[in-house]
Every structure is written in structure tokens, then in C-alpha cells.
Chains A and B, each alone.
Chain A
């Protein structure tokens, strides 16, 4: 590959800046730059270049760069502390390598090493991610959390779906509770192990290597790189200036120049992996050591927190805050002009064991109450009872049952028997309500 002779192609003269800029910027202005920015090193472009200046100094205005220390200081400021690799190894991408510098002595150290190497294998990780994605997709297709009867009917043995999927498959593999099933959890644990292995073996050494500016001092080493070019009449200074203008960080040591760009792209995967590990750890913690509960409380009544919470996993321990009593002072709703529900509110007071009110807040859907590690959310509303007074008798408390629920458009009904309640054809009044707004829209029917 014959070196480019800039003097010939662009009419000679001093440094051909345009040639450099088109060569080294990661745009598609020239064929070579296609490869330089082809994503092997995502968003990072590292050039380790040493320019051979030709011996005829008459062809360029600047003197030779070979051994002029002052040029380095003048142009680029103080050189940073560098530790150079003795054999000039340059990393060209995030290939998987054996962990650097760990002694392999002893059998006990070798087995975990092999396990680590096996776990941080990239195709394995890709396969794991595919499997997890497929399992999640299955989890949305198969109905989750239903009674076994549902699966007996939906995946019967006499007429299996797709020819082989019966309820035995679904219930046996735990697909009815896919996201807590052993299969899924095992895949997640495997993925976490791969993440940890990969971060330890590959990413952390990569940080160490990336932080060292590996200058290359021989032409052969540079030409062994995937992309290399020889520009015999070029000047390192101008190359450095052009690179800095293009956003690279440039370091010069003697006759060698080292520039890189996009260091953040090296650290970002580490951050993402660590974040995923943290999320998984948090999820494990809350899956094994938390409490959940839900309760429907009519206005004016109380409940004790500890009564309604049930533990999620084996590590859940109740706290002192579980002894507080929650009193519903008032429940009310806001409506839009069209009559639909805009928001529903509950005014709550918390009382400690000795009857003192410790907190009072009105909660609504996106605004929960937090006290002592417990969070109380407003999730739903309903009618609990209807009080009717008739001819001065009563009031009669009639429990209401939901007739139809469609999100926030709910319909509740109850039945008030009139007359002889023992006869088989009981006469009575049906009352149905769907709104807390006073009067006007109640429907009642008498038979």
C-alpha cells in the first residue's frame, strides 16, 4: 500500500489540512473514515499515530518533530502523566479477554476463573436475554394468576393448543405465575451472575487500560492496527490541532501523538450493568422482606395497620409502625362537569397506640401518605352501604354490592324488601347508585 503523497494530489505546499480532516472525522466524507467510526468502539475514536516526517525538511515550513521537546510544551501545554505499555498493546474493542494480571496458581483459583470466563461469554449473555424476553412474552399471552380450573378449560388435554400445550405444561412449569416461577427466576439469577462476571472480568480492566494512553513507538506496531495510514510530510502539531478541533483529547509524548474521543462510551456499559445489578438486588430485597395489604374502609371507621398487612416473603419483620390505627375521617370525590369522576380523596388520621393523633393527611390517587416506613395509597372507591329511613323508621343499613365496574364508572345496587320477607315472592325496592353527588341521578324501581 503505497503511502499517500499529499503534495502530488493537492498541489503541494504546506500541510494539507483538508486531507487530514476528511480522513479523521467520523463522517462519511471519505471511505477510510467509514471504518474508523464503524461502531466497534462505540462513539470513541482512538488514533495512536506516529508520523514519519521525511528527511527533506525543505518541503515543509516547520522543522522536524523528531526530537524537539519544546514544541510539545508550546503547543499542547504540560503533558499529562503517562504510563506507557512496554509492548504497545492497543485494545481495539471490547473483546473478551482473560482477566489481566491475576496469578493462576492453584487449583482453587482456577475453577472460579473458568466459571467466570464461562459466565462472561457474550453469546451466553445474548442467549439468556433472548430466553428472558421469550418467557416474558409468554407471560403476557398466558393468563396469569387464575385458578387452576381456568387453565383446565383453556388448555384442555383433549384438544391441546398448538398440538401439545396442555394445562400440565402450563401449571407444571409455573407459567400461571410466570414472573415468580422458578424457571423465570433462575434465568434472572443466571443473568445477574453473567452481569457480575462480565463487569468483573472485562469492564473493570477495560477502565484501567482505557485510562492509560498507550503510545506506540514503532511503525510496525502502528501498521498492525486495523486502520493505519502513512503521511510522510505531515506535522504532528497540525495533526494535533486538527484533532483537538474535531473534539478529540490529544496527548503528545516525544514524536508520538495519542488522541481519543468518546471516553464516556467506555464507562457507560459499566454504569448500566451496575445499575441493573442494583435494581435486581432491590427487587430481591422487596420480594423477600416486605408487606402488602389492601383494605376497604367505610367513612368513619378504623383499622389497625398490622391487621391488614401480609408478608411477601420469608424475611419480612413487622415494625413498630404496624401498631398505628388508621381512621378514615372523610371520603369525597370531585367530578367533572360531565359527571365523570375527576379525583377521589380520603381524609385520614393516624393514631398511635395511646390514642394520640400522629398524622393527618388527605390522600388521593397520585399522592400517598408515608409514615414510619408504611405508605398508604388511595387506589379505589366504592359504595359500602345505603341508609334508608322510611316513615320515621330506621335508618336501615343496607349493604350495597357492585353490579358493574368499568374503571371509575361503577354501579352499585341493593334491595330493600317490603312486606313479608318470608314469602317466596318478596316484594321490594331496588336501588342503584353510581355517583356520590347528592340526589338527581338515583334510579329506583319498585315492584
Chain B
């Protein structure tokens, strides 16, 4: 019983932290900026991460199997993976501007999973015979990590597209100066020192265009790296799944809807990688493909589960709450 109460406590803690953090952010953005709470999102993220991990561990102990057997657990794991990616990108990229993508993803996934939309999913279910295998840990966790990385990369590409095609420059003047200044603080000084630019083929027209260009370049670069990482994980996950399928059902690939959509996701991101090799197709074309990939990942993850058919039907659920 202790684990059930522990789970309840941790779930409530994480959800309330999320709500507080979102409220603070909305207040900062819309109403009034409280200076002392500026890094509240970071602290909130860390606290949420610990409570999510504690939740997963307690479910693991109480149910005896790795906590990845139904959709609720996989959503919690997904938000955990988002946080891992957030931490990795913070370590590699000292200015940490990717947190605008990873933080909301973590928060919203966690919020959706914990919300009252589908409470019957929350109980830990027993593992059906087909899932009782060591491959469960490897295959499903790899797939979820890959979904998290690919989703982050696709969101960055969507952000790139939005920024590229927004026509009002006022957007950059008004409320986001703070954001942009924090990106390029170190570079303004350098720019002042170098009178002549080293670009050959960019038009260095105006101050605002330069910042927008910098931002899009940065988004492009980071989305490429994220998607490459996610693509690697996706490949490993699909291969693990195929080997597991051979162990369990006798064939490596049985064109199950979930398998097929995972392969379609893989194909779309392979197309993305191919467009990056050729300079003429790079830029907004590849961002477009990554944006398509965003929707395909959601279809693969959620859409197929909604149908509830096929060999992967463990994650099926209905949206009506009882």
C-alpha cells in the first residue's frame, strides 16, 4: 500500500509544480514580470524530474516489472526523456536556448498523462505473456528516447519555419529583445570588434535581420543534431523490436500498423538527412520535412494506439473518462 500512496503523492507533487511553473510563466509573459522568479522554470523542472523518476521507480517496485507496459507509463517515460534531452543540451550548449522547446514539452506531456483525461490508465496493469521479456526495456525505452529527440528536433524546425516566414519584424523588436539579447550577449562584443564580416554570401542588411538570421542558423544547426541523435535511437529501437518480434512471433517484421508507422517515421527522417547533404535543398526545405515528421511521430505514437488494432494493442485507450 505504501507504494500506492507514494505514487499518489509524487503524481500530485509533479502536477502541482507544473501548474505553478506554467502560471508563473504566463504571468511573466502577459502581466507582470517578477524578477526573482526568473529561474523558477529550471528549479521547477528539476523538481518535476525527481518526482517523475520517483514515480517510475515506485511503480517498478510495486508492480515488479519495468514501468513501460501501457500508455500512461510510456507518457511519463517520454516526459522523463524530454528532461534528459534538456539536460544534455544544457551541458553542450552553454546558452541553453533550447529550453524553450524542451521545457514545455516535458511539462505538457507530464500534464497530459497525469490529467484526468483517462484515469483508468493510471493503475499499473499486469504484463501480458507477450510482454514478459527482457527486450521490453531495451526496445520501448529506445523508441521513447528517440521520439523525444525527434520531437524536439522537429519542434525546432517548426520554430525555424515560423520565424523565417513571419513578416512582421515588430515581433523581434517588442517583447523578445530580452531573449535575443541573452542569446547573443557574447557576440555583440565580438561583432563590434570585427569591422568587416567574414560572410561571403549573406546579406548583412540590418541589425534586426542579422539577429533573425543568427537565430535561424542556430535553430537549424540544433535541429539537425537533435534529429540525427533521434534517428540513431529510432534505428536501434526498430531493430530491437524486429529481433524481439522474431523471438516472440516468428517473423522479424509483420507489417503491423505500429511497425509500419515507425518505419514511415524512419523514412521521413531519412529523407530529412538526405536533404541536408545537398546544399541546394537545405534550409527551409529540410525544416519543412522535419515539420511533417512531427505530425507523423504523433500519428505513430498516439494515432495507432487509438485504433487499438494489431499486435501492438497494449497501449490502446479511449478518450472518454469514466
Contact = CB atoms under 8 A, between A and B. Distances in A.
Interface of A: 1-2, 4, 9, 22, 28-32, 34-35, 37-40, 42-43, 93-95, 122, 125-126, 129-130, 132-133, 136-137, 139-140, 144, 179, 226-227, 229, 272, 283, 292, 336, 338, 340-344, 364-368, 375, 377, 379, 407-408
7 contacts: A2-B196, A29-B190, A37-B221, A94-B277, A122-B274, A292-B250, A343-B132
Contacts of A340: 126
B264 A366 contact: no
B249 interface: yes
Interface stretch (B11-19, B143-151, B255-263): B255-263
Contacts of B244: 366
The 6 closest A-B pairs by CB, nearest first: A366-B133, A32-B198, A365-B129, A133-B267, A140-B257, A179-B255
A42 B194 contact: no
B263 A136 contact: yes
B190 A22 contact: yes
A41 B226 CA distance: 16
B260 A140 contact: yes
B132 A365 contact: yes
B36 interface: no
Given A29-B187, A341-B128, A408-B128, A129 B267 contact: yes
Given A126-B275, A365-B132, A39 B282 contact: yes
Contacts of A140: 257, 260-261, 304
Given A137-B264, A366-B247, A366-B248, A129 B270 contact: yes
B206 interface: no
B197 A364 contact: no
B119 interface: no
Contacts of B247: 366-368
A313 to B, nearest CB: 14
A441 B247 CA distance: 34
Interface of B: 95, 126-130, 132-133, 135, 186-187, 190-191, 193-194, 196-200, 214, 217-218, 220-221, 224, 228, 235, 244, 247-250, 252-253, 255, 257, 260-261, 263-264, 267-268, 270-271, 274-279, 281-282, 304, 313
Given A93-B278, A144-B255, A342-B126, 16 more contacts: A1-B196, A28-B214, A31-B199, A32-B199, A37-B221, A39-B221, A42-B224, A126-B274, A133-B264, A226-B200, A365-B248, A366-B129, A366-B130, A366-B247, A367-B247, A408-B128
A122 B281 CA distance: 10
Contacts of B132: 342-343, 365-366
B153 to A, nearest CB: 13
A38 B260 contact: no
A1 B197 CA distance: 8
Contacts of A366: 129-130, 132-133, 135, 244, 247-248
Contacts of A375: 250
B296 to A, nearest CB: 8
A239 to B, nearest CB: 17
Nearest to B310: A140
A33 B70 CA distance: 45
Contact of A336 (B126, B191, B193, B250): B126
Contact of B277 (A2, A122, A342, A368): A122
A133 B271 CA distance: 10
Task: Report which residue of B133, B194, B220 has the largest number of chain A beta carbons within 10 angstroms of its beta carbon.
Answer: B194
B185 to A, nearest CB: 11
Contact of A122 (B95, B126, B278): B278
Contacts of B193: 9
A31 B187 contact: yes
A38 B217 contact: yes
A377 B129 contact: no
A433 B100 CA distance: 56
A33 B282 CA distance: 18
A272 B268 CA distance: 15
A407 B316 CA distance: 13
Contacts of A94: 277-278
Task: Report which residue of B190, B214, B277, B279 has the largest number of chain A beta carbons within 10 angstroms of its beta carbon.
Answer: B277
A24 to B, nearest CB: 12
A39 B276 contact: yes
Contacts of A336: 126
B220 A343 contact: no
Nearest to B265: A133
A95 B278 contact: yes
A338 B187 contact: no
Contact of B255 (A42, A43, A139): A139
Nearest to B258: A140
B129 A341 contact: yes
A125 B278 CA distance: 13
B250 A377 contact: yes
A31 B198 contact: yes
A336 B127 CA distance: 10
Contacts of B279: 40, 93
Given A140-B260, A226-B200, A292-B250, A132 B128 contact: no
Contacts of A136: 260-261, 263-264, 267
A344 B228 contact: no
Nearest to A377: B250
A130 B200 CA distance: 35
A368 B92 CA distance: 45
Contacts of A227: 198, 200
A133 B277 contact: no
A368 B244 CA distance: 12
A137 B267 CA distance: 12
